């Protein structure tokens, strides 16, 4: 597995994150957002609920949870038309974590 980091200071502990997740880390080139495809796609999905220009300071916790639930229950082509939630549960149960609906 790999992780593609942005170049922000919030990733100063990238080596610790990569080691903990046992994943190889890479940094995207500055101003090359296409190198972080999943991030860009996720931003686009979130913009359906929180349009550009909306201050996140005005968004309530309930609105965030509602958007998160709708996105996690939306079937995705890249997941074989399963939802992210279904894939998470399958993976967790495969690893013996005993997650149930």
| pLDDT, tens only, 28-47 | 888 777 777 777 888 889 99
Gap between the Cα atoms of 77 and 41, Å rounded: 13
Residue 6 scores a pLDDT above 90: no
Residue 101: per-residue pLDDT: 57
42 in Cβ contact with 63 (< 8 Å): no
pLDDT band per the 50, 70, 90 thresholds, residue 66: very high
Task: Name the 3-class secondary structure at 3.
Answer: strand
Residue 42: per-residue pLDDT: 85
Range in 26-30, 57-61, 88-92 the model is least confident about: 26-30
Question: Which are the contacts of 4, defined by CB distance < 8 A and separation ≥ 6?
Answer: 25, 26, 27, 28, 35, 36, 39
Phi and psi torsions of 10, nearest 5°:
-65, -10
Question: pTM score, two decimals?
Answer: 0.60
Residue 50: per-residue pLDDT: 94
């Amino acid at each position: 597995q790999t992780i593609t980091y942005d170049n922000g200071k919030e990733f100063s502990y990238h080596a610790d994150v990569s080691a903990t997740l046992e994943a190889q880390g890479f940094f995207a080139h500055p101003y090359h957002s296409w190198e972080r495809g999943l991030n860009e796609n996720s931003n686009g999905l979130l913009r359906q609920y929180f349009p550009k220009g909306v201050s996140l300071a005005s968004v309530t916790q309930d609105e965030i949870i509602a958007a998160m639930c709708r996105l996690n229950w939306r079937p995705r082509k890249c997941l074989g038309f399963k939802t992210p939630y279904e894939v998470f549960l399958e993976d967790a149960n495969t690893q013996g974590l005993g997650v149930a609906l």
